[in-house]
Amino acid sequence: MLSKRSLVGIRLSFQTLAVLFFMLIGASAYAVDPAVIDSDEAIAVGKTVFNANCKTCHKLDQKYIGPALRGSTVRNSAEWVKRWIKNSGEVIASGDSYAVALFKEYNNSIMPAYTFLSDAELDGLLSYIEYGDKVDPAAAAAVAGGADGSTGAGGGIPSEYLTVILGVLVLVLILILVVLGLIISVLTKYINKQDLPEDEKEFVSQKFEFAKVFKSDGFIIVVTALVIALVAKTAIDGLYSVGVQQGYAPAQPIAFSHALHAGQYEVACQYCHTGVEIGKSANIPSANICMNCHTHIQNVGGKEGISPEIAKIYAAVDNNQPIEWVRVHNLPDLAYFNHAQHVAVGGIECQTCHGPIQEMEVVGQHTSLTMGWCIDCHRQTEVATQGNAYYDKLVQLHSDSKDALKVKDIGGLECAKCHY
């Protein structure tokens, strides 16, 4: 017999089970905090902020340096997550049990504080984290297929077809030669069978003599002229390239890759080359800038231990010794070049002068950096006057001229501008 009391007990535990059951269902149905906006605009805002600030440590659906972010507003409220992003240290210090446990789980790694993010950016971040970049296999396949198709249609004849066509042409030529040779031998045999006078017979069976051609004056003159021309061209090219270091790509003390940092992870050039918009020199980053990320990132692709290349950064910081990077670009002391003038005022992309740095494993000098190179660009390039009040007067004065205002018109060809 069951007492009334145990009946109550059973009912209670049944209730708790039911509540637990529905909580589980709720969680697996992925109850994102309703405060998170699911709109394309918000997602786009969030993606930009994410790529600039968070991508080095987080992925949406995979654990990386930090946890996978999708589901953050399931695990906690949107308000909580915003507080965390703004200053995770504060949330941990407040004794919040989830925060403390997470911090421990990640070996007390400190996530940077993002107090500078606006409310709109924070909202966007949450939208992107929960609703952005969902992988839909069908759509992904369609995109991949579309990309393949478009290269086939838009890129002219692909190079592998060209090779095949050339091969076929060469084969056809060889076949024609063989057939011609056969025809000649058949004809010679046929003519020799006829009753011909002796001198005509000799003519038919005469051989072509190479030796005679080699000894002829015409041949010797042509070959000598060609050799002299070649030597002269090499010598002149050699003289022009004295002091020109185009293509120079020295090995560096640490195997630092722009393809990885500036290409794959899209770290902005200015993050490391801090002087490029404000001064003459672009600056090579100190080891401290590397440490902003490499305090956390100790190896590639989630491998255990410290990568030997990254260990060199730690050694430099510990011993207070600068990393001895080998200089690639170097104008002679007589010339003056200013980055801020070209990048910030002139609006010229780094790649115009330095080439596709974001694809280089090892940096090399892409352009010649000769005086002719500077002058050519100053002759051709229009000054970016729009939105620059400094130029308003000049533009007015220049407006009678048919030509656009080029750098040469503002003194870009004057010796003293580039020479001390």
∠ Cα 379 385 390 (to 5°): 115
Closest CA to 383 of 393, 372, 395, 371: 395
* Residue 153, burial from CB neighbour count under 10 angstroms (0-12, 13-18, 19+): exposed
The C-alpha atoms of residue 183 and residue 310 are separated, in whole angstroms, by 73
CB 360 within 8 A of CB 264: no
Compute the least distance from the CB of residue 149 to ligand HEC, in Å: 31
User: Based on CB atoms, which residue is closest to ligand HEC, 71 or 191?
Assistant: 71
User: Based on CB atoms, which residue is closest to ligand HEC, 191 or 252?
Assistant: 252
User: Based on CB atoms, which residue is closest to ligand HEC, 191 or 352?
Assistant: 352
CB 192 within 8 A of CB 201: yes
User: Based on CB atoms, which residue is closest to ligand HEC, 51 or 224?
Assistant: 51
Compute the least distance from the CB of residue 147 to ligand HEC, in Å: 24
User: Based on CB atoms, which residue is closest to ligand HEC, 112 or 201?
Assistant: 112
The C-alpha atoms of residue 111 and residue 61 are separated, in whole angstroms, by 18
Compute the least distance from the CB of residue 176 to ligand HEC, in Å: 51
Say how many Å lie between the first and final Cα of the chain, rounded: 107
The C-alpha atoms of residue 69 and residue 130 are separated, in whole angstroms, by 8
User: Based on CB atoms, which residue is closest to ligand HEC, 201 or 368?
Assistant: 368
CB 362 within 8 A of CB 251: yes
Give, in order, the Cα–Cα distances in Å from 8 to each of 15, 20, 133, 185.
Answer: 10, 18, 49, 115
Compute the least distance from the CB of residue 360 to ligand HEC, in Å: 8
User: Based on CB atoms, which residue is closest to ligand HEC, 201 or 277?
Assistant: 277
Compute the least distance from the CB of residue 238 to ligand HEC, in Å: 14
Residues contacting 388, CB < 8 A, separation 6+: 345
User: Based on CB atoms, which residue is closest to ligand HEC, 157 or 334?
Assistant: 334
Compute the least distance from the CB of residue 236 to ligand HEC, in Å: 16
Compute the least distance from the CB of residue 215 to ligand HEC, in Å: 48
The C-alpha atoms of residue 53 and residue 47 are separated, in whole angstroms, by 10
CB 409 within 8 A of CB 378: no
Compute the least distance from the CB of residue 207 to ligand HEC, in Å: 58
Residues contacting 340, CB < 8 A, separation 6+: 275, 276, 277, 278, 279, 280
